[in-house]
A and B are shown apart, each in its own frame.
Chain A
Amino acid sequence: MTTTTRQPREATAPPVGPPAPPRGIRRHWSEHGLAFTGPFLIVYALFLIVPLIWGVRMSLGNDNIAGTQSEFVGLDNYAEALRDPDVWSSLGNTVWFTMLSTAPLVVIALVMALMAHHLRFVSWLWRLSWFAPFLLPSGVVCLLWLWVIYPSDFGFADQLLAAFGLEPGIGWLTDSRYAMLSIVLTTVWWTVGFNFLLYLAALQAIPRHLYEAAEIDGAGGWQRLRSITLPLLSRTTGVVLVLQLLASLKIFDQVYIMTGGGPDDSTRPILQYVYQTGFTGYRIGYASAISYIFFALIVIVSLIHLRLTRRSREENAS
């Protein structure tokens, strides 16, 4: 391992063939490993590992927001959380939102992608109109939709309902029957473009010769969609579905900005309850405990995701 790297090059100065890799190269591969990974690992440890562990410690105490005056209370916070009806109702709202939003966000995205892919015409228009909202900050999206649906006499949505002869003034955000649906509507408009892009990329990866073969066999448009396109998209659908579940479970912005969790906490998601107990209620230990209950839910969905992506990678490799 004492050979320097320069010697072999001089030895093979007239290039007859590729020079055999000198032994010094192997040394190169083992150099500076920690220097490369170190900077990221420090940031990662400070802002992910440390808070993760510190959070566990906090959830076992009765800390206030500044982290001072802490007293070990064991699992009391968790026991209290499991008895707290507000935890259950906000968890319920989160799951309810996830159930309501996931199906349209996946199905509409698929329909959009199929349309854009099959039309092969003004593709910039579809990308711009369907994906561009995803690039807007949540604040922009929510203020925009508040203006469209909220004002009951002069709001755009109510006037549109009236123009179609339907009954206006349905209380989009003030009636607990509609509030969550309005949040779902806003979310679909905002983020469906992301799933649309994922589907579009998957569609473009389907080999064309499959369609040509089917066409020769006399398969019609619907038949080709059913027997080629959709089966080949099933893996993408699995990944999109889980990514969507994970994203929907983390709902906070839209509810916080548009309804503040109301009416009567009927839209308040779990993250907002964490925020309320920890940041406005100053019980940061209790908030941490609720966070970890929520975390357990996320981990379960993530593990499904991991399994799905691993399987799809193995299939890709084979």
Chain B
Amino acid sequence: MSALTAVRNAIRPRGDEDSGGRGARWTRGRVALLACALVLAVLWVLPLAWALATSLKPEDETTDTGLHWIGSEITFNAYEQVWASGDLTRWMFNTAYIASMTTLLTVVLTAMAAYGFSRTEFRGRKLLYGLVMAGIMVPPQVLIAPLFAEMVAFGLVDTYWGVILPQVATPAMVFILVKFFDGLPRELEEAAYVDGAGRWRVFWRIVMPLSRPVLAAVAIFTFIQTWNNFLWPFLVTTDPNAMTLPVGLVNVQSTYGVRYAQVMASVIIGGLPLLIVFVFFQRQIVRGVAHTGLAGQ
């Protein structure tokens, strides 16, 4: 481990802008920069910290004036009550299910389609690809009215599929994957054909494993977007049992009214799942978001 780090440090070209180019030296400019960055970081953490502090106070102390971070005691009362009401667990399950299904379907369908567009010749391919690419410009928000009418016609209001299916049709992801497949050399696949493998086998056993990084990027981006999507689930679910977490949370406010500790407890619980995932998969998420963010959307 340490040897590896040493090698990596030796290879890594130097060029720290504010330190005269000699690695990480603490010059005055660099300390000032660090101070500014820390101030910004504190500003960004402050609202979350205040929410956490509120959620741990006894309910009758949340409206006290005087910026007390800690109440007379630290209590998990608010969390217990929010949890006991059961809605949050229900919504969290709904969101996890919907986000997972949407991600799985998006990855499989867009990868297949992208492979088809990138590697197959068939009549109408260019036209169909153009049609899909044009769809990048259509924001789903513009389609809410007809899409809702369609859901009514299909009987999909208040169902998981009603939330999932419209979110699977993401042409931007096809675009990202086509670009990736176009850059893959064909030799590996050709060798497999020589060995007698068929198209599907080549796709699932060779192309998909080779594409793991870009597929992960697409999956991460889709998952975050679906987990947090508000407008569409909000429109297509009216039954609290079918709601997703972002939609249900907004209802919490009206349910709990002025019980601020409980509202903040639901905020913390509602924000936690993706934050925990982020702490563990920081690198992949950062790379995935930067990759798909620039190319698509």
Give Cα distance in the complex from A100 to B144, angstroms.
Answer: 26
Decide: A37 near B165, CB < 8 A? Known: A160-B67, A194-B289: no
Please determine whether B230 and A29 come into contact, CB atoms closer than 8 angstroms: no
Decide: A147 near B18, CB < 8 A? Known: A239-B294, A243-B297, A292-B142: no
Please determine whether A58 and B149 come into contact, CB atoms closer than 8 angstroms: yes
Q: Which of B214-263 contact A (CB under 8 A)?
A: 224, 227-228, 230-231, 235, 245-250, 252-253, 260, 263
Q: Which residue of A lies closest to B250 (CB)?
A: A139
Contact pattern, A 55-71, Cβ under 8 Å of B = 1, otherwise 0:
10010000101110000
In the complex, B96 has a CB within 8 A of chain A: no
Decide: A154 near B64, CB < 8 A? Known: A201-B294, A279-B148: yes
Interface residue from A22, A54, A211, A299 paired with B137 (Cβ < 8 Å): A299
Please determine whether A43 and B143 come into contact, CB atoms closer than 8 angstroms: no
- Which of under 10, 10 to 19, 20 to 34, or 35 or more describes the interface residues of A? 35 or more
A residues less than 8 Å from B188 (CB atoms): none
Interface residue from B150, B195, B271, B294 paired with A137 (Cβ < 8 Å): B271
In the complex, B290 has a CB within 8 A of chain A: yes
Q: Which residue of A lies closest to B258 (CB)?
A: A151
Interface residue from B141, B149, B294 paired with A54 (Cβ < 8 Å): B149
In the complex, A291 has a CB within 8 A of chain B: yes
A residues less than 8 Å from B278 (CB atoms): 128, 131-132, 135
Please determine whether A25 and B193 come into contact, CB atoms closer than 8 angstroms: yes
Q: Which of A115-157 contact B (CB under 8 A)?
A: 115-116, 118-121, 124-133, 135-140, 142-148, 151, 153-154, 156
Interface residue from A25, A239, A295 paired with B190 (Cβ < 8 Å): A25
Contact pattern, B 245-287, Cβ under 8 Å of A = 1, otherwise 0:
1111110110000001001101100110011011100100011
Q: Which residue of B lies closest to A66 (CB)?
A: B152
In the assembled complex, the CB of B156 is this many whole angstroms from the nearest CB of chain A, namely: 10
Give Cα distance in the complex from A5 to B190, angstroms.
Answer: 10
In the complex, A92 has a CB within 8 A of chain B: no
In the complex, A112 has a CB within 8 A of chain B: yes
Interface residue from A67, A253, A309 paired with B152 (Cβ < 8 Å): A67
Please determine whether A212 and B13 come into contact, CB atoms closer than 8 angstroms: yes
Please determine whether A115 and B249 come into contact, CB atoms closer than 8 angstroms: no
In the complex, A97 has a CB within 8 A of chain B: no
Q: Which of A36-63 contact B (CB under 8 A)?
A: 36-37, 39-41, 43-44, 46-52, 54-55, 58, 63
Decide: A51 near B120, CB < 8 A? Known: A40-B112, A137-B230, A271-B141: no
Please determine whether A136 and B228 come into contact, CB atoms closer than 8 angstroms: yes
In the assembled complex, the CB of B128 is this many whole angstroms from the nearest CB of chain A, namely: 7
Contact pattern, B 82-94, Cβ under 8 Å of A = 1, otherwise 0:
0000000000000
In the complex, A30 has a CB within 8 A of chain B: yes
Decide: A138 near B230, CB < 8 A? Known: A48-B138, A54-B149, A132-B275: yes
Give Cα distance in the complex from A145 to B138, angstroms.
Answer: 31
Please determine whether A302 and B143 come into contact, CB atoms closer than 8 angstroms: no
Give Cα distance in the complex from A303 to B134, angstroms.
Answer: 10
B residues less than 8 Å from A253 (CB atoms): 230-231
Give Cα distance in the complex from A236 to B295, angstroms.
Answer: 11
Give Cα distance in the complex from A49 to B153, angstroms.
Answer: 16
Please determine whether A52 and B253 come into contact, CB atoms closer than 8 angstroms: no
A residues less than 8 Å from B37 (CB atoms): 112, 115-116, 119, 126
In the assembled complex, the CB of A131 is this many whole angstroms from the nearest CB of chain B, namely: 7
Give Cα distance in the complex from A24 to B138, angstroms.
Answer: 41
Interface residue from B48, B152, B228 paired with A144 (Cβ < 8 Å): B48
Q: Which residue of B lies closest to A278 (CB)?
A: B145
In the assembled complex, the CB of B203 is this many whole angstroms from the nearest CB of chain A, namely: 8
In the assembled complex, the CB of B148 is this many whole angstroms from the nearest CB of chain A, namely: 7
Give Cα distance in the complex from A194 to B148, angstroms.
Answer: 30
Decide: A143 near B263, CB < 8 A? Known: A116-B37, A129-B41, A209-B13: yes
Q: Which residue of A lies closest to B41 (CB)?
A: A129
Please determine whether B17 and A224 come into contact, CB atoms closer than 8 angstroms: yes
Decide: A298 near B142, CB < 8 A? Known: A25-B193, A137-B228: yes
In the complex, A294 has a CB within 8 A of chain B: yes
In the assembled complex, the CB of B167 is this many whole angstroms from the nearest CB of chain A, namely: 9
Please determine whether B122 and A30 come into contact, CB atoms closer than 8 angstroms: yes
Which residues of A are in contact with B by a Cβ distance under 8 Å?
5-6, 8-9, 19, 21-22, 24-25, 28-37, 39-41, 43-44, 46-52, 54-55, 58, 63, 65-67, 112, 115-116, 118-121, 124-133, 135-140, 142-148, 151, 153-154, 156, 159-160, 163, 189, 194, 197-198, 200-201, 208-209, 211-212, 215, 221, 224-225, 236, 239, 243, 246, 250, 252-253, 257, 271, 274-275, 278-279, 284, 287-288, 291-292, 294-295, 298-299, 302-303, 306, 309
Other A-B pairs, 16, CB within 8 Å; known A33-B116, A303-B137: A31-B120, A33-B120, A39-B109, A49-B131, A63-B149, A118-B30, A137-B270, A140-B249, A146-B253, A154-B63, A159-B65, A208-B13, A212-B13, A243-B293, A295-B139, A309-B295
9 A-B residue pairs with CB within 8 Å:
A5-B193, A9-B195, A28-B193, A28-B198, A31-B199, A44-B132, A47-B169, A136-B228, A253-B230
